[in-house]
Amino acid sequence: MLAIAALLGALAVALAWPVPVLLARATWPSRAPGLALALWQAIALGGGLSMIGCLVVIGTAPDGSLGGSVAALLPHLLHGPIPPEFGVVHLAALTLAAGLAAHLALNLVTTAIRAERERRRQHQLIAILSDPLPGAPRTRVLAHPVPLAYCVPGLRTATVLTEGLVAALSADELRAVVAHERTHLEQLHHLVLLTFRAWHQALPWFPIANRAERAVTILTEMLADDGARRETGPASLAGALERLGADAEPGAYAESGGVAPDREMVDARLARLREPGRPLGPGARFGVGVIAVALVAVPTVAIAVAL
């Protein structure tokens, strides 16, 4: 049991600091943004499982199983006495594990509820204040001079442009922007971003949470760029980015609280559109895929064996 707890603890520490830092500094994610996004998700999930699992394994060490520990402790929680084999360390570990799991789960639920409310409000405003863009299904135009483009997900999706954006871009550039926003919606980037935003809000003092949310944001932007590039070619999208920069796109979805693209992100996207570089080789892709699966599988199996 102690060996498994040590393994989970070491993995939790690694996924909380050095691994995310190395991934955030790496250059290869721009060559395989989808794979890098999957790896970030594996880091977040594996880190959470390892952290909570380590505490649970420590807390249940006297009995050797979660079910046995609950059966031993539950009858005594209100009236006592606590079985003597469960010391302060064990009880503290179980309390921390339960509290952390509940905190993360509740924060995810509340973040999703707030996002859904904001989506409904956005759809209501769009229906009142915008007009359809001819020839572009589910695309609306707001009468506003500031050039902006964003998308609103949900059961009914919408891509929103302003008159300022339509006036500033050529027809091909406008088509590229619409394709970019549509890719965000088709690939459900709002769900990925929501989970990382919830993680960041649950642990605002945790520097890696902010780093992860920022890294995931730029990866979703690159994936949306790839969708637009397949439809219109890189020149049109690069031209739109050069004209408008970060000010034209408040984010992958119109909800408050997330990380909005900035000048540094736009420059990285422009460099990638101008010189995409060689795609990541099959061997490297396989290796990253194996690592992503292992980061989730190892703590899952270790917890299952221990409990």
Residues 259 and 251 sit within 8 Å (Cβ to Cβ): yes
**pLDDT at residue 208, rounded to an integer:** 81
Helix (H) or strand (E) holding 132: strand 130-132
Measured in degrees and rounded to the nearest 5, phi and psi for residue 130 equal -120, 165
Map out the domains of the chain as residue ranges.
Answer: 1-86+278-307, 130-276
Cβ contact 92:186 at 8 Å: no
What pLDDT sits at residue 66?
Answer: 74
Residue 257 confidence (pLDDT): 55
Q: How many CA atoms lie within 13 A of 181 on its CB side?
A: 28
**Which one, of 237, 261, 242, 241, lies nearest residue 251 by Cα?**
261
Whether the predicted model's global pTM rises above the 0.85 cut: yes
- The count of residues in the chain is 307
pLDDT at 287: 97
Burial class (CB in 10 A: 0-12, 13-18, 19+), 224: buried
**Tokens representing 37?**
């996004």
Tens digit of each residue's pLDDT, the chain (307 residues)? 789 999 999 999 999 999 999 999 999 999 999 999 999 999 999 999 999 999 999 999 988 777 777 777 887 777 778 888 899 999 999 999 999 999 999 999 999 999 999 999 999 999 999 999 998 899 999 999 999 999 999 888 999 999 999 999 999 999 999 999 999 999 999 999 999 999 988 988 777 888 899 999 999 999 999 999 999 999 999 999 998 877 667 665 555 456 767 788 999 999 999 998 899 999 999 999 999 999 999 999 999 988 7
Which two tokens mark 22?
Answer: 């190395």
